[in-house]
Structure 1
C-alpha cells in the first residue's frame, strides 16, 4: 500500500522514499549554524543593551530568524517528511537577510549624519525611508511567496508500493495539480522578492559608493577620516558583498526549479547561504556600529548642514584669496 508521509508525521527516512528536499538535511550543519547564529544573537543583544544602540536590534532579530531556519532543518533531519519544518526553513532562511540589510541601511544614514549632508546626495532621513521601505516590501513579498511555495510543494513524498485504488489515484492527482500550481506561483513571487532586494542593494551600493568617494576626497580638517570610520566602511562593504552573493545564489536556485540539481544540493545551500550569512552578521559583533559610531563622533564630531564640505584645493584657494588682500595692506 502506498504510504504518503505528509503533514507533521515524524517518520524516519525510508530508503527509496524521496523527501521534499531531495535529501535528508544535515544534522551537523544545522547544529553548527544554530550555534553560530545563536552566539551572534546573544552578543548583539548584549551589545545593544550596553551601548543603548536600540536600532541594532535588527541584527539580533535576523540572527534569530536564521536560528529558526536552521533549527527547522535539524527537525527535518529527524522527521524528513514533516511539512512544518520544511515550510519553516524555506520561509525563514529566505527572509532573514532582509533584517541585516535594514541594519546596513540605517548605518549609512547615521554615517551621513556624522559627516554632514553634503557628503551624500540624499539626506539620512530619505535614505531610511527609501531603503527601509524597499526592505519591508522585499520581506513581505518573500515571506508570502515562501509560504505559498512551501505549502504547495513538499511533504508529498511517498514510498514505492504495489497497488492503490483508482479513487485514491484520482484524488492524489488533483491534489498534486493544485499543489504544483501553488508552488509555481509562490516560487515566482519569491523570486520577484529576491530580485527586488538585489536591485535595492545595487542602488544602495551606488549611493554608498558615492558617499564614500565624497568623504575620502575631503580634507581631514572638514571630515574625519579616522581608522575607525574606514574600518566600519570596510566591514559594511564586506557584509553587503556576502549578502549580494547569497541573493544571487537564491535567485538562480529558485529559477532553476524545486527539483533542479541546484535546489537539491545541500552543499550549495551551506556554502552560499549559511556560510555567507554567518560572517555577514558576525562582522558587526566585531565592529559594532554602536561603539564605532560613538568613537567616530568623539574623534571628529558632527558637522552642521551650514558648514560646507570643501576639498583641499578649495580650501587652499580660499586661503589664498584671503591672504593676498591682507598682504597688500601690510597685515
Structure 2
C-alpha cells in the first residue's frame, strides 16, 4: 500500500473519542464473555471471545491512527481486525443452533443433519474468513491495481458470509416452525411458562440468534457496499457509517449474547419427575403419539 503514493488511507481524521469509547466498551463486554465462558465451560464461545479481542485491538489501533494517519501498520491492523471479527461471532452462533436442536431432541425436525450442521456452516464461515483475510492482506501491500484485487477478494468473502448466513437463518426458521407444530417432550418441559417478552428458554435463545444474525447481515451488506464502491467511494469517505453500521451493531451482538448467554438454556437439565401423575403420563403419551403420527406423514 505504501508503494502507491496516490492511495489515501483515510479521507478524514479518525475520531479519537469514538475509537477509545468503542475499545473500552468492547473490552467490558469481552471480559464479561470471558467470565461467562470460564464459569459455564462454554467452549463453543471461544471464537466469539476472540472476535471481541479483535475489536478491542482494532479500535485501539484506530485511536492510534488519530495521531499517525499515515501509518500503514496501524491502518492495516484496525482495518483487518474490525473486518474479521464478525466472522468469529458467526462461528459461535452457528454452533449454538446445533446445540439447541440436540438439547430439545429435535434432530428429526432439522432438514440438515445435526452432525453435519455445525461443520457445514462453520466451514463456510472459515472460507469467508480466509477470503476476507487474504483480501485485506493484498490491500495492505501492493500497487493500486493489487489493492483493487484485494477489495474484490474481500467482496467475495462477504458474499460467502451473506450466503451462509442466509442459509443459517432459513434453517433456524424451518426448525422453529416445525418444533412449534410438533413439540418434543423436552421443548414442552423447557418452555418458560411466565410469558415474558423475551423468555429465557430455547425460544428466547433462538430469537437471540435471529437478532444477532440480522445485525451481522446488515453490517455485512454495509461492508459489501463499501468495498464495491472502492477507496474513493462515498461510504468509506464518511466515518459515521463505520460507527453506525459496524461498531454499534457488533457491540449490540456481544451485549445480546451477554444478556441471554446460551449457557442459561443449554446448561439446564430437563429431569423427569420422580413420581408422575396420571395426567403427566397421559400428556407424555399424547406428545409421543403426535410425534409418531407426524413422522409417519413425512
- The higher-RCO structure (CA 8 Å, 6+ apart) is 1
**How far has the Cα of 1:311 moved from its partner?**
9.1
Counterpart-to-counterpart distance in 2, 1:133 and 1:316: 32
Instruction: Tell me if structure 2 keeps the 8 A contact 1:219–1:310.
Output: no
Q: Secondary structure at the match of 1:223?
A: helix
- In the TM superposition, what are the counterparts of 1:96-135 in structure 2 within 5 Å? 96-116=85-105, 117-135=107-125
- Residue 235 (str. 1) matches residue 208 (str. 2): yes
**How far has the Cα of 1:313 moved from its partner?**
11
Counterpart-to-counterpart distance in 1, 2:134 and 2:285: 48
- Residue 70 (str. 1) matches residue 59 (str. 2): yes
Q: Paired residue for 1:211, among 145, 151, 175?
A: 175
Structure 2 length as normaliser, TM-score? 0.84
Deviations 1:65-105 (A, max 9, x none): 11121111101001111110111111111111011000011
- Residue 187 (str. 1) matches residue 151 (str. 2): yes
Structure 2 counterpart of 1:12 = none
In structure 2, do the counterparts of structure 1 residues 239 and 300 end up closer, same or farther at CA, with 3 Å as the change threshold?
farther
Q: Paired residue for 1:293, among 266, 271, 287?
A: 266
- In the TM superposition, what are the counterparts of 1:152-231 in structure 2 within 5 Å? 152=142, 179-219=143-183, 221=185, 223-224=187-188, 226-227=191-192, 228-231=201-204
Structure 1 length as normaliser, TM-score? 0.76
- In the TM superposition, what are the counterparts of 1:32-71 in structure 2 within 5 Å? 32-71=21-60
**How far has the Cα of 1:115 moved from its partner?**
1.9
- Residue 148 (str. 1) matches residue 146 (str. 2): no
Structure 1 counterpart of 2:290 = 315
Instruction: Tell me if structure 1 keeps the 8 A contact 2:104–2:184.
Output: no
**How far has the Cα of 1:19 moved from its partner?**
4.9
In structure 2, do the counterparts of structure 1 residues 89 and 317 end up closer, same or farther at CA, with 3 Å as the change threshold?
closer
- Residue correspondences, number: 271
In structure 2, do the counterparts of structure 1 residues 219 and 128 end up closer, same or farther at CA, with 3 Å as the change threshold?
closer
In structure 2, do the counterparts of structure 1 residues 200 and 186 end up closer, same or farther at CA, with 3 Å as the change threshold?
same
**How far has the Cα of 1:299 moved from its partner?**
6.5
**How far has the Cα of 1:118 moved from its partner?**
1.1
Q: Runs of 5+ in structure 1 lacking a partner?
A: 1-5, 8-16, 153-178, 302-308, 319-331
Instruction: Tell me if structure 2 keeps the 8 A contact 1:105–1:132.
Output: yes
Structure 1, 278-287 or 116-125: larger mean CA deviation: 116-125
Counterpart-to-counterpart distance in 2, 1:223 and 1:57: 27
- Residue 255 (str. 1) matches residue 228 (str. 2): yes
Deviations 1:203-260 (A, max 9, x none): 1111111111111112464633613111111111110000000000000010011111
In structure 2, do the counterparts of structure 1 residues 249 and 120 end up closer, same or farther at CA, with 3 Å as the change threshold?
same
Instruction: Tell me if structure 1 keeps the 8 A contact 2:84–2:129.
Output: yes
Of structures 1 and 2, the larger Rg is shown by 1
Question: What do you get for the CA RMSD once the two structures are aligned?
Answer: 2.6
Counterpart-to-counterpart distance in 1, 2:285 and 2:230: 53
**How far has the Cα of 1:129 moved from its partner?**
1.0
Structure 1, 116-125 or 186-195: larger mean CA deviation: 116-125
Q: Runs of 5+ in structure 2 lacking a partner?
A: 193-200, 274-283, 294-298
**How far has the Cα of 1:316 moved from its partner?**
10
In structure 2, do the counterparts of structure 1 residues 140 and 52 end up closer, same or farther at CA, with 3 Å as the change threshold?
same
Counterpart-to-counterpart distance in 1, 2:272 and 2:152: 48
**How far has the Cα of 1:150 moved from its partner?**
2.9
Counterpart-to-counterpart distance in 1, 2:87 and 2:285: 36
**How far has the Cα of 1:127 moved from its partner?**
0.7
**How far has the Cα of 1:291 moved from its partner?**
2.5
Instruction: Tell me if structure 2 keeps the 8 A contact 1:19–1:80.
Output: no
